[in-house]
Structure 1
Amino acid sequence: MQRILLLLYVLVVGSLMAPLRAAATPPTVPGQLTVKLRPGFRPTALAGALLTLNAQELRQKFPRALPPEEKKPGSIDLRGIYQFTLSPTIPLDRARAVLLATGAVEYVEPLYIRLPQAQPNDPLSDSMLISISRSQFYLKQISAYRAWDVVSGDSNIVIGITDGGVRLTHEDLRSQLKYNYNDPINGVDDDEDGYVDNFMGWDMANNDNNPGYDPSIVHGTLVAGVAAAQSNNGVGIAGVSNQCRFLPVNIYPNTLTGVFSGIEAIVYAADHGCQVITMSWGAPGGYSRLEQDAITYAAVNRNVVLVAAAGNTNADLLFYPASYNHVLSVSGVDNNDRKSPNATFSRRVDLVAPGVSILTTYGYHATTGNGPADADYGAVGGTSFAVPMVAAAAALVRQRFPDFTAAQVVAQLRQTTDNIDALPVNAAWVGRLGTGRLNMLKAVTQTTTQEARVVTSTFAPTLPAYAPGDAFRLTAEVQNILYPMAALTVTLTSLSPYLRVEQGSFTIGSLPMLGRASNAAAPFRLSVVSSGIPLNTTATLRYRLTASSGYQFDQFVDVTLNPDYVVLEANDLAVTLTSRGNLAFDDLGATVGRGVTYRGSGNILNEGGLMLATSPTRVSDRLRTRYGQSRQSFFSLTQATRQQPGPRADQESLAEFQDSVPVAGTRIRSVGVAVRQRAYAWAAPERRDFVVLEYSLRNLTADTLKPLYAGLFMDWDLPNPDGAARNVATWDDTRNLGYCYAPVQTPSPGVPAVYAGVRLLRGGTPAVYSINNNAPVGSPVSLSDGFSLPEKFLTLSNDTDPDQRTAGLPNGADVSQVVGTRLLRLAPGDSTTVVFAMLTASTLAQLQAASDAAARSYTTLLSSRSAALATSIRAYPNPTSGLVWVEFSSTLGSFELQVLNNMGQVVLRQAGRGSSTNLNLANLAPGLYQLRVQGPAGVLTRAVVVN
């Protein structure tokens, strides 16, 4: 039976299972995107961008959603969310960048597909389960029988089953359905809710009024039986909610046009009277603001308790929707309160319930031999079936405490569990199974339960990640969810050695039920250690709330440290520089980095970065390629770091990276160059509109590179009242300046006029190539099918074709631009320097003035550095068979001499002092090496060949 059911799930969701197993991001609905407008904007603000993207069928996703209310803090407005169809040839990151750059959009997201969290098993196939598989042992384990003596459920309390279709004819389910008598089946939308004849719920996935059973998926029937099977009817089982009703909302498609609709089902169930909603489905990863918005709407605007499966992966991970705010996350245990073998565990889990061999309504067998289909039962397992127990308990708590808000019901369930951390079998998961195992009797009888929680955490400054040495503040808002508390305190502790809490105490005192308090007047203070932090480290902070009653409760919040990028923000232009040559973001999804902004604008650079080339087949970059992927030519030698102040500017950054060295007879299509990237930003008024980027290029190959092309690819998305995709790219040959602008410069609230560009300041012969991103396939450069190596080479080497200096005229288009240079030759081991300035301004005249100021600034910087680096280095004999004499033109004092191979790896270190030293290279393999001397005069380099 297990094999049969697993096969049936695969048939339902088709090829979706494979992507889920292969990646941390769940699959998405093809061709469908959602966008949320910022307050005050109307859909017309997206017209230009949607036209550029060739988007179709823009429609309001939740037109009948309840608006937010002041008396419900945290309530949300779903009416600004729209959905549209996008051509499959346009990558999500492209659409996201175009829409965000309008200034009218809060977020752009795909629609994630979440799978059911079941582990079905045939009870007769495992002899170890026979003793419990034909009984509802779990009712005693969670004290359901005794709870029913206190409260027996109410037919007016409805549990929304957002899941697969339910067998509505099953003997234990058919009388438990909540009917909508305001809209009988007559072909008319009698209750005018937008759904015709939704008498028995709704099939959201297939958009019809039949949420009934589909033979290809039994999951919904299984969940509904645990929660709401009829009790006291002399047959079958008893649902945990006893007399409560359920409303089926199907979320899985069984037609060619159907789509997964879990989030839409949550909104439907909340809008149609459900006080509790089950979500026995999900996937690891794939955080979605759309999903969080829908959940917040149900929980806050509609006052619904949402219960979700923590997942069936035996790992500590975030699982959605269970890990969203306002969701009660439920993991599983067996009949002895031992964690279920495959149950997910994490600090985000709220509580556990039985999830092994759960007897429930099956409704699978459609033929004789095992009894009639409508009288079928079976034992199943997984956190999917722990969820309906907790949801049923929530329904009974709502009946017992009718004045409780949804948040209070959740708190009551969380604080009345039986702690199972002390069991030896659970020692490995202490603190990651929530407060304990569900106890329904306590939940419906305890009237002095206490719970206070941190409901919002606000960091200042708000950044996606904090760099070594950063200091920041944390404001916590605390709410007492349940009964009054005295001497309430919050203590903040860092669980990471890389993050220090400088001030972590917040004394609240007494707080009444639903009262709130904040430490905004004296926020927690934190600091990041200055060194030794691994890249992209997650540091966990623990809030510990205590009160005089003995109450203690822990919550956790994560902070990302030491990102693999830096941001220069000394002036009006804030630029993200990565450790591998990209600008704005380190990934096409625009998730790693802070983009490029001007005077507090939104991001104005969708993608940017360094390109190198010697031929159409030898190109190095980390930019887009085909199929929504990016090339990975460059790898980091040293992490990008920032100095503030730097020796020559108010902010400076340094990074070193290189590509692979081509080998004859292989398919390596890189150039073979090591790059040292320096960047400079100044705060002086005349230097506030630019950042200087300096690239030192060293030939790692044994051949002369002739010529060598270098340049910056810049996909600008400048704000425009008619849509971000309406830009023009052009060239100022008197300044070697390529720039972009919006042809429509009518001022608009929140949409400032911006000119942006790149100027070649030093190195070689300038080249420019302006690109219409929507040029059809067959054009010299067409980004619609990716960015190929020949196309990249063409854009770098175009120093003669005047027709490619401008794109987007007369009305604007979605444009990119490459500003580059041609270097005649670069001998083995030799280095050269190419320098660009990134520029932004409000007018063309100001951009030109900033360009001239950048040139003057770099000339001043170059002269000061030349004086500092007057010392030179010599090495002989060169080539050498072993011993080499290294000599400096002036005394250095103490220094370190490093020998680097052609991969940029240090293979030898030697300390020295004075003006010369001997070096023995006899143990090194023949080849080209670099001598690098770090001393008071800076960094000196010289190539040396070992025979």
Structure 2
Amino acid sequence: MKNTLRALLFLLIIGLGQSAMALPAPPTIPGRVVLKLRPGQTPAVLEAALNALSAHGLQPKFPHTQAPSAERPGSVDLRGIYQVELPATVPLDRARTVLLGTGAVEYVEPLYIRQPLYQPNDPRADSTLTSLTASQFYLKQIRAYRAWDVTRGDSSIVIGITDGGVRLTHEDLRQQIKHNYADPVNGRDDDGDGYVDNFTGWDLANNDNDCGYDINIIHGSLVAGVAAARTDNGLGIAGLGNRCRFLPLNIYPNTPTGSFAGYEAIVYAADHGCQVINMSWGAPGGYSRFEQDAITYAAVNRDAVVVAAAGNTSADILFYPASYDHVLSVSGVSSTDQKSPAATFNHRVDMVAPGLSILTTQGYHTVSAGGVADADYVAVGGTSFAAPLAAAAAALVRWRFPQLTAAQVMARLRQTTDNIDGLPANAAWAGRLGTGRLNVLRALTASPKEARVIASTFLPARPAYAPGDTLRLAVDVQNLLQPVAGLTVTLTSLSPYVTVRQGSFAMGNMATLARATNFTAPFRLAVAASGIPLNTTATLRYRITDTGGFQYDQFVDLLLNPDYVVLDANDLVLSLTSRGNLAFDNLAGTVGMGLSYRTSGNILSEGGLLLATSPTRVSDRLRTSGGQSRQSFFSLRQATRQQPGPRADQEARVAFQDTIPVAGSRVRSVGVAVRQRAYAWAMPGRRDFVVLEYSLKNLTADTLKPLYAGIFTDWDLPNPDGAARNAAAYDTARALGYCYALGGPAGTTPPVAYAGIRLLRGGTPAVYSIDGGAPAGSPIRLADGFSVAEKFLALSSGTARAQRTAGLPDGADVSQVVGTRLARLAPGDSTTVAFAVLAAPTLAQLQASADAAATVYGAVLPTRPAALPAGFSVYPNPATGLLRVELTAGLGLRELLLCNALGQVVRQQAASGTAAALDLAGLAPGLYVLRAQGTGGILTQNVVLR
């Protein structure tokens, strides 16, 4: 018998009652990530990046899995998924950006720990009806006895029980286990599947062949009994699966080296012949592409019916794995078909099954109360025990209809339920309990229909949509069961903030397994221009009907009005948050669209505003230590975008501030309110930069002297041979700090080689380049966090750390702070600083864009044109040919210069007296800046050429 670490994992997920946005991510396995290589890539391309992370143990996650097949559209390739061990000092976001920066990786994710969903059988949980605990009432409720008259299944149909260990010697379980006779226990891998002696299932969590009983977790025994307890043996209970067998797969650790392995168990079950896989575990939130890949492999590549418990949250939330694609999500009801008090409800629930007072095998006591060994039973509650009822029903359907695919089996189960939405007790959850309660008899005897949307594609594809956006929605529809006539999909918005402008798709007649798409004429939608609360989830309903009376509803969600805006008018796409960050609002890089240039993908893992006035008074929302970020700034006004704006093709406005320091408090903030404006242009010559302007107001009663302000950037410019090969430098003439990608092998060119920040307006420039691989004892060492004192040092060191490059000669993960020193800011006073965010293929282009940004900021952005000296006239403006310049007597002209948007001089002409004419012939239409050198100084005026 194994000793245990599992007890800590045996948590209850009940009564959360929270919105999905507020739910924390599930816990993760420390020091380990999974990544997926892009097609055609090999692990060799990761060598430099892994070395930079001091990572080790790169190994394929599923080396023996089946390749995707053209005969199974949508099948997934798990052979490109690898597991990597990371040092404890390397945070997940660092690993993600370095590995993604190679350009060879699709995703990098943590491994989530998903919890079993056991709900205790006690009065306080209100999950036990004492009058029912001594019998299997639920078998009559779901018409099991009549269903067994149709079929009792067969031992060749195997249900994979991915769960805690199972009491293998229990009287009602021991004869139901599916053994692998191709690999008897002899110390050899006889069947060549990579597992030695996997005769009786496998312990995926601890990587051994003992998936048996653990006294601290009996959940696996409880679930197995519901699905597959032995029938007709004159003992105990009858599992719904009757003659069907089960494969025990342990997913919870009980050794120091073990770890949660729910998704590894899914793949194992799929590869070892399980036609049905049950998952009575999970957690709210924490969407994972790795987890979805594992499920897709089982459901599509291996054609397994994947069933999951919807969770015991008593909330309308997404719960994983139940809410993933290709999963039959099962919630719970009582003996009267009323929703179980703690059961999750949402539009992703497919159906419900009894989930209260479920009598099953306990597998806890060696000797029962009657003195019989391995003969204990208990009544339990939770969606953990509704799911195996659906899984067992799927097993019976698979035996009865062997020609059906896994998707068709799920469709039969959905379309043969007893509708319970009409019960008064369920009125509050109507439409969010799936199609109804499981009816096994109907699943085995009826001839249902189900056409279903199997894929939804939003165009443009974004994680969220802003007020005023318009979008299209293409769907892929498949008829899974009986032929249908006159099939139509009608799209309706259930949100007041989304309008469906074109929402009908007629497919006509469809044979079984036929597919259709409206990709050439997609649905059209519009997001409301105003009044949308932050981070609103809008639900759209597909209503699928035919002329014979079939009707089926499906739902799809989209996120509206996120707490960030995206400027995408030009080649540099940038997310701005409502609290001063650039690219993303969190260290995980999931809130925001990042910063990309042309087709580069994200190149900024973290960025944001830094303010400071002393080594102990610093304000920011950047990383600190322990994988956390500081939370100095709070939003005063949501980030908004205007398109077009009065001065640019796109403009954004943000307002936030930090807390005001109080004497004697431990608050280490500065006490400044910030109004941020951002500008982006679509015209040639302005497509490589975004201008950021910050108005800073002193909210304290003291003069801030000095006040430092700057932008921190952790650039990750992709290299052909590893993301860590970056360096940072400083252009003194332009107050331009930049990062660049070092070249890869001969003949390779990075997709974007240069990116940086230029100070456009403010006091004395400050630039600090940071080498991410700096050793212990360095003035700034990001490997162990970014402290308040280090942030102050980066802002206040002037250009002392800017004249030499960081990251050379071999390249490193580099960061920079580009800022300014403002001598003083009196109480109540305001000042303005401005920066340009830039990217370009070459240094020369980066410098030209930096010059253009300076010109544009100086000439275009002032709210009011500078007051011109009396008698200074430039006309006609807009101009078409000759431009006349006149000054009053006494000022005297010497020279005229005309500059384009890049700051380049395109006309130069000597002048004298008080008037001159400048020929504009041959110049392209656009905005120019005229500089008139006179005896009294330089006068400037914007000129528009038509």
Contact 2:617–2:670 (CA<8 Å) still a contact in 1? Answer: yes
Contact 2:62–2:81 (CA<8 Å) still a contact in 1? Answer: yes
**Matched residue, 1:486:** 485
**Matched residue, 2:807:** 808
- Residues 647, 868 of structure 1: alpha-carbon distance in 2 compared, 3 angstrom cutoff: farther
Structure 1 counterpart of 2:95, which letter?
A: A
Tell me if 1:845 matches 2:844.
Answer: yes
Q: Determine helix, strand or coil for the equivalent of 1:432.
A: coil
Tell me if 1:684 matches 2:683.
Answer: yes
CA deviation after TM superposition for structure 1 residue 824, in Å: 1.0
2:516 and 2:369 map into 1 onto residues whose CA distance is 63
Contact 1:20–1:27 (CA<8 Å) still a contact in 2? Answer: no
Q: Determine helix, strand or coil for the equivalent of 1:311.
A: coil
Q: Determine helix, strand or coil for the equivalent of 2:97.
A: helix
Contact 1:223–1:388 (CA<8 Å) still a contact in 2? Answer: yes
- Residues 27, 191 of structure 1: alpha-carbon distance in 2 compared, 3 angstrom cutoff: same
1:425 and 1:637 map into 2 onto residues whose CA distance is 43
2:834 and 2:354 map into 1 onto residues whose CA distance is 64
Structure 1 counterpart of 2:590, which letter?
A: T
- 1:247-646 pair list within 5 angstroms: 247-367=247-367, 369-446=369-446, 448-646=447-645
2:642 and 2:530 map into 1 onto residues whose CA distance is 13
Contact 1:485–1:512 (CA<8 Å) still a contact in 2? Answer: yes
Contact 2:743–2:750 (CA<8 Å) still a contact in 1? Answer: no
**Matched residue, 1:784:** 783
- Residues 753, 745 of structure 1: alpha-carbon distance in 2 compared, 3 angstrom cutoff: farther
Unaligned runs of 5+ in 2: 17-21, 870-946
CA deviation after TM superposition for structure 1 residue 704, in Å: 1.6
**Matched residue, 1:821:** 820
CA deviation after TM superposition for structure 1 residue 825, in Å: 1.3
Contact 1:771–1:817 (CA<8 Å) still a contact in 2? Answer: yes
Tell me if 1:145 matches 2:140.
Answer: no
**Matched residue, 1:225:** 225
- Residues 20, 248 of structure 1: alpha-carbon distance in 2 compared, 3 angstrom cutoff: farther
1:466 and 1:127 map into 2 onto residues whose CA distance is 41
Contact 1:769–1:805 (CA<8 Å) still a contact in 2? Answer: no
Structure 2 counterpart of 1:158, which letter?
A: V
1:556 and 1:349 map into 2 onto residues whose CA distance is 10
Contact 2:5–2:255 (CA<8 Å) still a contact in 1? Answer: no
Contact 2:6–2:253 (CA<8 Å) still a contact in 1? Answer: no
Task: Identify which of 7, 12, 21 aligns with 2:7.
Answer: 12
Unaligned runs of 5+ in 1: 1-7, 871-947
- Residues 802, 204 of structure 1: alpha-carbon distance in 2 compared, 3 angstrom cutoff: closer
Query: After superposition, what is the alpha-carbon deviation per residue over 1:367-402, rounded to whole angstroms, capped at 9, x for unaligned?
Result: 464423312222111111111111111011011111
Tell me if 1:174 matches 2:174.
Answer: yes
Contact 2:467–2:530 (CA<8 Å) still a contact in 1? Answer: yes
Query: After superposition, what is the alpha-carbon deviation per residue over 1:148-207, rounded to whole angstroms, capped at 9, x for unaligned?
Result: 111111111111111111111111111111111111111111110000111111111111
- Residues 735, 439 of structure 1: alpha-carbon distance in 2 compared, 3 angstrom cutoff: same
**Matched residue, 2:234:** 234
CA deviation after TM superposition for structure 1 residue 695, in Å: 1.4
- Residues 126, 837 of structure 1: alpha-carbon distance in 2 compared, 3 angstrom cutoff: closer
CA deviation after TM superposition for structure 1 residue 540, in Å: 0.6
CA deviation after TM superposition for structure 1 residue 129, in Å: 3.8
Contact 2:15–2:342 (CA<8 Å) still a contact in 1? Answer: no
1:451 and 1:96 map into 2 onto residues whose CA distance is 41
- Residues 394, 747 of structure 1: alpha-carbon distance in 2 compared, 3 angstrom cutoff: farther
CA deviation after TM superposition for structure 1 residue 334, in Å: 1.4
Contact 2:318–2:346 (CA<8 Å) still a contact in 1? Answer: yes
- Residues 598, 368 of structure 1: alpha-carbon distance in 2 compared, 3 angstrom cutoff: closer
Structure 2 counterpart of 1:144, which letter?
A: A
Q: Determine helix, strand or coil for the equivalent of 2:846.
A: helix
1:704 and 1:280 map into 2 onto residues whose CA distance is 61
- Residues 700, 247 of structure 1: alpha-carbon distance in 2 compared, 3 angstrom cutoff: same
Q: Determine helix, strand or coil for the equivalent of 2:235.
A: coil
Query: After superposition, what is the alpha-carbon deviation per residue over 1:684-730, rounded to whole angstroms, capped at 9, x for unaligned?
Result: 22222111111122222222211111111010000111211221011
Q: Determine helix, strand or coil for the equivalent of 1:791.
A: helix
Contact 1:672–1:699 (CA<8 Å) still a contact in 2? Answer: yes
Matched residue count: 862
Q: Determine helix, strand or coil for the equivalent of 1:455.
A: strand
1:868 and 1:473 map into 2 onto residues whose CA distance is 48
Contact 2:658–2:669 (CA<8 Å) still a contact in 1? Answer: yes
Tell me if 1:718 matches 2:713.
Answer: no
Q: Determine helix, strand or coil for the equivalent of 1:576.
A: strand
Q: Determine helix, strand or coil for the equivalent of 2:865.
A: helix
**Matched residue, 1:919:** none
CA deviation after TM superposition for structure 1 residue 230, in Å: 1.2
2:201 and 2:679 map into 1 onto residues whose CA distance is 62
- Residues 750, 397 of structure 1: alpha-carbon distance in 2 compared, 3 angstrom cutoff: farther
Q: Determine helix, strand or coil for the equivalent of 1:234.
A: coil
- Residues 70, 20 of structure 1: alpha-carbon distance in 2 compared, 3 angstrom cutoff: farther
Larger mean Cα displacement after TM superposition, 691-700 or 749-758: 749-758
CA deviation after TM superposition for structure 1 residue 802, in Å: 4.5
Q: Determine helix, strand or coil for the equivalent of 1:44.
A: helix
Query: After superposition, what is the alpha-carbon deviation per residue over 1:760-802, rounded to whole angstroms, capped at 9, x for unaligned?
Result: 1221111110001232332111112211111111000111524
Q: Determine helix, strand or coil for the equivalent of 1:614.
A: strand
Aligned CA-pair RMSD: 2.2
Q: Determine helix, strand or coil for the equivalent of 2:465.
A: coil
- Residues 867, 499 of structure 1: alpha-carbon distance in 2 compared, 3 angstrom cutoff: farther
2:10 and 2:138 map into 1 onto residues whose CA distance is 35
**Matched residue, 1:767:** 766
**Matched residue, 1:131:** 131
Contact 1:645–1:651 (CA<8 Å) still a contact in 2? Answer: yes
Larger mean Cα displacement after TM superposition, 76-85 or 824-833: 824-833
**Matched residue, 2:58:** 58
2:526 and 2:566 map into 1 onto residues whose CA distance is 18
Structure 2 counterpart of 1:12, which letter?
A: A
**Matched residue, 2:900:** none
Contact 1:123–1:379 (CA<8 Å) still a contact in 2? Answer: no
Q: Determine helix, strand or coil for the equivalent of 1:845.
A: helix
Structure 2 counterpart of 1:784, which letter?
A: A
- Residues 37, 371 of structure 1: alpha-carbon distance in 2 compared, 3 angstrom cutoff: same
Contact 1:720–1:742 (CA<8 Å) still a contact in 2? Answer: yes
- Residues 19, 150 of structure 1: alpha-carbon distance in 2 compared, 3 angstrom cutoff: closer
- Residues 371, 728 of structure 1: alpha-carbon distance in 2 compared, 3 angstrom cutoff: same
Structure 2 counterpart of 1:649, which letter?
A: A
Structure 2 counterpart of 1:756, which letter?
A: A
CA deviation after TM superposition for structure 1 residue 117, in Å: 1.0
Contact 1:19–1:26 (CA<8 Å) still a contact in 2? Answer: no
1:733 and 1:354 map into 2 onto residues whose CA distance is 72
- Residues 171, 748 of structure 1: alpha-carbon distance in 2 compared, 3 angstrom cutoff: farther
- Residues 744, 543 of structure 1: alpha-carbon distance in 2 compared, 3 angstrom cutoff: same
Contact 1:179–1:201 (CA<8 Å) still a contact in 2? Answer: yes
Query: After superposition, what is the alpha-carbon deviation per residue over 1:730-766, rounded to whole angstroms, capped at 9, x for unaligned?
Result: 1111211111111225577894142011111221111
1:199 and 1:869 map into 2 onto residues whose CA distance is 90
CA deviation after TM superposition for structure 1 residue 366, in Å: 2.2
Query: After superposition, what is the alpha-carbon deviation per residue over 1:7-49, rounded to whole angstroms, capped at 9, x for unaligned?
Result: x999523597799989531111111100111112111221111
